[in-house]
């Protein structure tokens, strides 16, 4: 049976949720270096619900399932992460609308909408040592890879892996940055020398998605 766009979206969202839950302690430890250490646990409180209840979600369209996840995260995730991640999903849901088939341009539009939601809710910008510093370069890399003229299933897998590698490197590149947002900003120059937990999480999530994608479709 040929996989539909919604099947692929299910794979991505399930893998994302499972990866976040599995890396709870790791993300919390990263956050504890200059923050309050609750990042991993805050995310887990929402994504555990996504993992356990996913089969009950309305998945009749891309927008429907993204909207549901956005509501779950907004209501279940504490601290600043809930509003930020929740808004990212809600904005992406608006971009996806009632589509049941997503082309490559749709995927990039949905991801860009999530970035716009993060910026709107959190007020952050590139270079301020946040998840944007790995997410935005990853989306740029994915867009470039998907735009290749020889695009196909194998090229899609390669584009996704390149995006994951870009996010991983970009997260490492946050180490010399001065944190200007979140609790880490209160530590001033102490924030220099450690990676941003959110940026690192983006890399870890994308690496997991890429591995599962290659196994399933690559």
Q: Supply the pLDDT for residue 93.
A: 98
This prediction has a pTM of: 0.92
Q: Supply the pLDDT for residue 107.
A: 97
**Beta-carbon contacts of residue 63 (< 8 Å; ≥ 6 apart):** 93, 94, 95, 96, 97, 98, 99
Q: Can you give the length of the chain in residues?
A: 218
The tokens describing 165, both together, are 């590698």
Interval 1-43: pLDDT, tens: 467 999 999 999 999 999 999 999 999 999 887 766 788 999 9
pLDDT tens track of the chain, all 218 residues?
A: 467 999 999 999 999 999 999 999 999 999 887 766 788 999 999 999 999 999 999 999 999 999 999 999 999 998 888 999 999 999 999 999 999 999 999 999 999 999 999 999 988 889 889 999 999 999 999 999 998 756 666 889 999 999 999 999 999 999 888 665 555 544 545 567 689 999 999 999 999 999 999 999 87
Where in the chain are the domains? 5-216
> Which CATH code is given to the segment(s) 5-216?
1.25.40.340
Phi, psi of 62 (to 5 degrees): -60, -45
The tokens describing 179, both together, are 């944190």
The answer to whether the CB of 148 falls within 8 A of the CB of 160 is no
Element (H, E) at 201: helix 197-216
The tokens describing 189, both together, are 């120059």
């Amino acid at each position: 049976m040929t996989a539909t766009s919604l099947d692929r979206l299910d794979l991505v969202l399930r893998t994302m949720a499972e990866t976040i839950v599995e890396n709870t302690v790791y993300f919390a430890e990263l956050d504890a270096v200059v923050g309050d250490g609750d990042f991993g646990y805050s995310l887990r409180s929402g994504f555990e619900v996504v993992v356990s209840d996913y089969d009950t979600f309305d998945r009749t369209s891309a927008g429907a399932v993204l909207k549901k996840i956005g509501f779950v995260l907004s209501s279940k995730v504490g601290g600043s992460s809930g509003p930020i991640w929740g808004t990212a999903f809600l904005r992406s849901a608006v971009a996806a609308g009632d589509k049941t088939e997503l082309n490559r341009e749709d995927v990039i539009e949905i991801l860009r909408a999530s970035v716009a939601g993060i910026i709107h809710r959190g007020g952050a910008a590139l270079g301020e040592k946040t998840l944007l510093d790995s997410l935005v370069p990853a989306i740029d890399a994915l867009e470039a890879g998907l735009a290749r003229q020889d695009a196909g299933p194998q090229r899609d897998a390669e584009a996704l892996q390149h995006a994951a590698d870009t996010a991983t490197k970009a997260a490492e590149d946050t180490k010399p940055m001065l944190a200007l947002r979140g609790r880490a900003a209160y530590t001033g120059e102490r924030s220099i020398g450690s990676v941003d937990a959110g940026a690192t999480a983006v890399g870890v999530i994308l690496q997991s998605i890429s591995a599962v994608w290659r196994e399933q479709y690559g």
